[in-house]
Chains A and B, each alone.
Chain A
Amino acid sequence: MESFLQQVVSGLATGGIYAALALALVMIYHSTNHLNFAQGEMAMFSTYISWSLINAGVPYWIAFFATLVIAFAGGVVIERLIIRWVEDAPVLTVVIVFIGLLMIFNSVAGWIYSYDIKVFPSPFPDQPIQIGTLYLGPHDVGAIAVTLIVLAILFLFFRYTSLGLAMRAAAENPESSRLVGIRVGRMLGMGWGLAALIGAVAGMMVAPIVFLDPNMMAGILIYAFAGAMFGGISSPGGAVFGGFFLGVTENLAGSYIPFIGNELKLSVALVIIVVVLLVRPSGIFGKVTVSRV
């Protein structure tokens, strides 16, 4: 039982990271109708920035928040400088731009920091957290807490503030948004900023587990895609659920189904998702938006 709970908790920790990145993907998807393949590399690059800051002697949490600010600004700049010009471009153009961004971030990171694997610190204490006879990894628990806090803040922001509402409106219907006075370009820029910020959180939380290197996010991005599709690419809450679900399933399948082990656990998760999507193409929580003409 204890080991089961431990597996669940560590599944939730990685799941939270998939969930965060899945949410970032959903946000961009809402405004561009495309999956941002560069989301993972943007997160990776942000993580390198915080690594540089920490290495330069900046205390962890200051580096953490400074990175969030830098990531946000970077996201805004990418949208305003590049993405706005391909807003109405054909699908393939957008895909190429996203892949181009991915390759640029990847190679610039490799060029600045080299492809050597680096250790990235965890801000949480080393001692396992003991609850009765249950021992939990401190970084797992901390990462879950950080992701949940970030997700909760975002939820409150989008649900209850007028800026959050304007951002949702701008992503859904730019023309009507302009007609009520929303500065749509700014909102889309902020959307990219927030997505980059969430990605940065995911990067900094996962780096102590997978170590830091320019390709660290490749696998994680696939999970995030899968999680988003599973929960429903049209539903932020669904994507978050999908991410957590995937993390837990992957971990449990890896430990309890003997022939699967570590090597096949990714495949198991993906098989489950394919099956779900065959039955419900819009994902578990994906709402088929009703609109009358």
Chain B
Amino acid sequence: MSALLQISGLEAQYGLTKVLHGVDCRVEEGGITTILGANGAGKTTLLRAVCGMVKTSGSILYAGQRIDGKATEDIVRLGIGHVPEGRGTFVALTVEENLRLGAYTRKEKNKVAQDYERVHRYFPVLLQRRQQQAGTLSGGEQQMLAIARALMLGPKLLLLDEPSFGLAPIVVLEIFEIMRTVNQEEGVSMLVVEQNASLALNLADHAYVLETGRIVLDGPAEEIRGDDAVRRSYIGY
């Protein structure tokens, strides 16, 4: 397998505070990588760095091409969909408008229409809520909308920032099942940031543990899942 996303020596800072100290990680073509870590470890910052939303040094290679230093709008056009922390809903717009915005950069009308139907197959509730103001959706529905909006881009790589956050367990399972389907049937690669480690380790093929801006552990998800000692000391369950 070859890497779709290859991050090397990544450092990131807000003002004078450095929050990533030389992070190396990768997402395989068609693979799912998860980044685990406690609050404030720098997980969100890592995803934002990929999308050009924070100042960084080091290199970020996507499909063999340097994307660090590019503008967010241009990175998105390369097929990187981002489901941000807090979901990033356009609260005053309707559900349908949120989805149309997901496909804003795409020209092929037919494919967009197909994707529109496809995301509604995954999330039928969004069709019912089509004309509703997106801010009035429940938390779970907004998370679905955020994922659906990112899928409307027709992405090759999906970045998901704590998709389970604040949701009922049953909704979380549903969403993770859909993520698995999207990955397996459409070959969309994913970089998933999670605090719910057991869930993420079940989904991903590779995992990294981030601690205050440094990768302290990485390996195949299966191995980490199976190694009680490692799990207890690094992930704490």
Q: Which of A's residues lie within 8 Å of B, judged by CB?
A: 162, 165-166, 168-169, 172-173, 175-184, 289-293
Contact = CB atoms under 8 A, between A and B. Distances in A.
B84 A179 contact: yes
A63 B195 CA distance: 62
Interface in B132-190: 133, 135-139, 142, 149, 153
B91 A162 contact: no
Interface residues of B, number: 29
B90 A179 contact: no
Contact of A169 (B77, B90, B135): B90
Contacts of B77: 181
Given A172-B92, A292-B142, A179 B51 contact: yes
Given A169-B101, A289-B91, A290-B133, A180 B84 contact: no
B93 A178 contact: no
B135 A181 contact: no
Nearest to B106: A181
B102 interface: yes
B104 A176 contact: no
19 contacts: A162-B104, A165-B97, A165-B101, A169-B90, A173-B88, A175-B53, A175-B84, A175-B88, A176-B88, A179-B88, A180-B105, A180-B153, A181-B105, A182-B73, A183-B73, A184-B73, A291-B91, A292-B139, A292-B142
Given A165-B104, A173-B89, A180-B102, 15 more contacts: A166-B101, A169-B97, A173-B91, A175-B84, A176-B88, A176-B89, A178-B76, A179-B76, A179-B88, A180-B76, A181-B76, A182-B101, A290-B91, A290-B136, A292-B136
B26 interface: no
A175 B53 CA distance: 9
Contacts of A183: 73
A177 B133 CA distance: 17
A180 B72 CA distance: 9
B101 A289 contact: no
B82 interface: yes
A173 B135 CA distance: 12
Contacts of B137: 292
Contacts of B92: 168, 172, 289
Contacts of B135: 289-292
B225 interface: no
Contacts of A175: 53, 84, 88
